[in-house]
Amino acid sequence: MIKDTHCAAPVSGPRQLLVRLQTLGPGLMVSLAIAMASAFIADHYGGPTLLYALLFGMTCHFLVEDGRCLPGIEFASRTILRLGVALLGARITLEQIGSLGLETVLAAVLAVAATICVGWISARLLGQRADFGVLTGGAVAICGASAALAISAVLPKHENSERDTLLTVVGVTGLSTMAMISYPILCKLLGISPEQTGIFLGGTIHDVAQVVGAGYMISPATGDIATVVKLLRVALLVPAVVVVAWMFRRQQASCQSGSECRRIPMVPGFLIAFVVLVAINSTGVIPQVVTSGMNDLSRGCLVMAIAALGMKTSLQKLAQVGWRPIVMLVGETVFLAVLVIGLLFLAR
């Protein structure tokens, strides 16, 4: 008997792409619909598009529980977010980065290190594990949920490891969302300049998307500064993870299987793309029409990403994690905000 070899043929590339689109489609379409609705309302009735996307997304949180929408929402909140941030490099130059000065870079390093130390101390005072304090402190200090996942990969494994990571991700996501709304108002009340506002937003808000949203709600210039300062913090993720791994190397549990070991992430790809675009844009070789198109695409990606992040934000889950983790995360967030404000006033 002759076997039909066609039946055993692997799935073709176009078919794999089609399956992938079918998996991501529902969540992406919901994120796109919220983004378009937000843009329509902002264009016709005024107000910040990003804030509308965030609020509309939060009202659709129930869609995260729908298995059909979750993959696309996750994709929008991560991959599309990173694409949007990377494309922001087309509107920033090395001259703008240089204008931040060495003091801003040193202040970012100080803020990250100090916040992680506060997390460790608060954990000890509240009877929590020291590694949980480092986890929450690192998430607040660097880049929110992404930092929490990266740091948890090198912390000692125990029965509550996954729970601690989940609590941290939920907590920093909720606090970052609140900061995105409240920090611009705080900056206005304090009467600080747009440039200092950008430094404050970029140096305090946890997640990249919320930093971008808060910054560009105020002005393009403030958004640019906030994004650059935030990416300085993101760049500190790798050395922070290495230091944390060294601190806990003696407590590190050996992995029984390769599936339990996550590799320490290198410098994020979107950060590399952002830097490359900044460098290219600084030479002046990118035509204005191309830069404008990339800016529009970037904004569209960020609106979709923030809509997805809004759908992932559950205030109900945040209220169920227990008071000690909430006190730790809020305390670390307040400490970071007070520290950065203090450094800004000292620099005046």
The string of pLDDT tens digits covering residues 181-209 is 899 999 989 888 888 999 999 999 988 87
Using CA atoms, how far residue 66 sits from 26, 145, 173, in Å, is 10, 22, 20
Residue 134 has pLDDT above 90, yes or no: yes
Residue 145 is predicted with a pLDDT of 75
The type of residue at 280 is I
pLDDT band at 96 (very low <50, low <70, confident <90, very high): low
Residue 274 has pLDDT above 50, yes or no: yes
Decide if pLDDT at 227 tops 50: yes
Q: Transcribe 79-101 into DSSP letters.
A: IIHHHHHHHGGGG--HHHHHHHH
Query: Alpha carbon of 38 to those of 15, 32, 46, 50: distances in Å?
Result: 33, 10, 10, 7
Amino acid 316: pLDDT = 67
Q: Is the pLDDT of residue 97 over 60?
A: yes
Give dist(CA 274, CA 214) in Å, integer. Answer: 19
Comparing 277 with 146, which gets the higher pLDDT? 277
Q: What is the pLDDT of residue 158?
A: 76
Distance of alpha carbon 244 from alpha carbon 249, whole angstroms: 8
Residue 143's alpha-carbon distances to 21, 62, 150, in angstroms, are: 29, 25, 10
Q: Is the pTM of this model over 0.75?
A: no
- Can you tell me the mean pLDDT for 111-132? 91
